[in-house]
Amino acid sequence: SLKDDTDRLMDTALGHIYGIDSAILELTDDNFNSEMAKLDTAFVEFVAPWCAHCKRLMPDFGRAAKVITKNNFPLTFVKVNCDGPGYHTCQSEADIYPTLK
């Protein structure tokens, strides 16, 4: 849909602005459960692009993900956009934004 395409574009733009790259696995309603089942350990960030606290967290979350990935720690950093393709997942996983689990 146009909204999903717009959300993905915004996520990509924010990723470039804040230096977030492939160190963070971005999941959606379609793949959240199946991808999480494959992971031994994950640190999940449930965010909304319009949330000021989320915007402040994104750069630090991205930097932490890069450090963990670079040092081969067995931890996967995951992001779910609660205002877009991860909306339904967030309904059961997040009470406020951002939520870290």
Residue 60, pLDDT score: 92
Catalytic residue selected from 24, 54, 78, 80: 54
Q: Between helices 52-70 and 2-18, what is the axis angle to 10°?
A: 60
Query: Collapsing DSSP states into helix, strand and coil, what is residue 12?
Result: helix
Known active-site residue 90: no
**pLDDT-based confidence at residue 19 (cuts at 50, 70, 90):** very low
Catalytic residue selected from 36, 42, 51, 68: 51
Quick: pLDDT tens for 41-98: 999 999 999 999 999 999 999 999 999 989 999 999 999 999 999 999 999 999 999 9
